[in-house]
Amino acid sequence: MLLRRLALFVLFGILLAACAPTVKGEADAGQVPPLESGEALGDLTTVDFCTLLDKQGLREADVSVELATSGFLRCTVEVELGMVGLSVTIGDLYWATPFVEADESRELARSVHRRHFEEEAVCWRELVFSDEVALDISVYESYGDIGGAEGDAEMCIVADLVTDGVQQAVYSGGGESMTFPEGSLDEQEPCSLLSADEVIDVLDVEDVMYEHALGGGGCSWWWWFDESYVGTDVEFGVVDLGAGAADPEAYYGDEVVGRPTRTDDFGDGQCRVETPHMIVPSEVPTELEVVSVYTYGKDDESCTAARKLAKLAWTRLPEYEG
């Protein structure tokens, strides 16, 4: 959600006045109704985005899938193409933003649009259903010889391959729903962890806009301040810590109001503070449900603001039992 909004802010300024080509695909058959997001994906709050990933198609294209983790808002995938490692996300879901012009917009069958965006550090695609719900597929550099045109080409090759598979899945209804164990974050309401007044006070802004994540599992507050956007996101997610999940306190080595916590300063005014909720009882015993607070636009104060907000949010979560 955070990365998506920040990317849109950049694109808005760059591309608003641009005219992007539209490539017409096959015309819809008159008797076939437009494809809405609910028909393609089912209940939008329980989509298992990783079931939209065509692993076989990627293998046939010499892209190896190293890790795929299903979360509340997105599927996070680590892949390798040659000597390059890439991070792929399928999701989030959000209302489409037609005022942002894509590099290419292609009309598919049943009034679905496929939009392409390419930037230096990310290559992403959108599938926009007939009800204006958009599904994001993004590819970011991870490690290897990423850089310049070569890296950009590799990111976009994988973005197209993944989107091809997702496109086939949504037309065939091939995705599945997530199921949640007892005590899961699915029983919590992310928007209840912070109030607008608390966010206004910590971010030191006069007001905030508010948004509930379309797919559930997230909440956002933001404001235009000093010619830039300032805001915070609360997200429920799933992470795979590998062998470290047997002792997550080793990974979440800090503490905020008695809960194990990790702080990641990404620079450029972006910071994430995260706490574990519970181990996911599944075939992958290294997965954890987590709660994250992202803060952006506060320059050197982002981590300070994120930790203040986390201190408030953590007190409203069930006790972490390890």
Which of 178-187, 288-297, 302-311 shows the lowest mean pLDDT across its residues? 178-187
Residues 6+ apart with CB under 8 A from 161: 54, 57, 58, 61, 63
Percent of the chain's residues with pLDDT above 90: 68
Q: What is the pLDDT of residues 88-107, one digit of tens each?
A: 999 999 999 876 788 999 99
Q: Could you give the C-alpha distances from 87 to 53, 122, 187, 272, in angstroms and in order? A: 13, 10, 29, 18
**Residue type for 46, please?**
T
Residue 171 or 249, more confident:
171
Q: Which amino acid is it at 35?
A: L
pLDDT at 244: 56
Q: What is the pLDDT of residue 243?
A: 59
- Residue 245: which pLDDT band, with cuts at 50, 70 and 90? low
**Over 60: is that where the pLDDT of 162 sits?**
yes
Consecutive H or E run containing 59: helix 55-60
**Is residue 235 classed as helix, strand or coil in its secondary structure?**
strand
What's the mean pLDDT in 127-138?
Answer: 97
pLDDT of 167 strictly over 70: yes
Return the structure tokens found at 186: 């699915």
Measured distance CA(123)–CA(159) in Å, rounded: 7
Residues 6+ apart with CB under 8 A from 112: 34, 35, 127, 128, 129, 130, 170
Selection from 17, 15, 42, 47 nearest residue 115 by Cα: 15
Across the chain, mean pLDDT equals: 86
Q: What residues have CB less than 8 Å from 19, skipping those under 6 apart?
A: 101
Does pLDDT of 290 surpass 60?
A: yes
**Residue 242 binned pLDDT confidence (cut-offs 50, 70, 90):** confident
The whole-number average pLDDT for the span 111-134 is 94
Please tell me the pTM assigned to this model. 0.86
Closest by CA to 295, choosing from 230, 245, 244, 247, is 230
DSSP string, 286-301: TEEEEEEEEEES-GGG
In sign, the C-alpha dihedral spanning 244, 249, 253, 254 is: positive
pLDDT tens profile 301-313: 999 999 999 999 9
Structure tokens at 99: 């005022």
Task: List the beta bridge partners of residue 75.
Answer: 70, 90
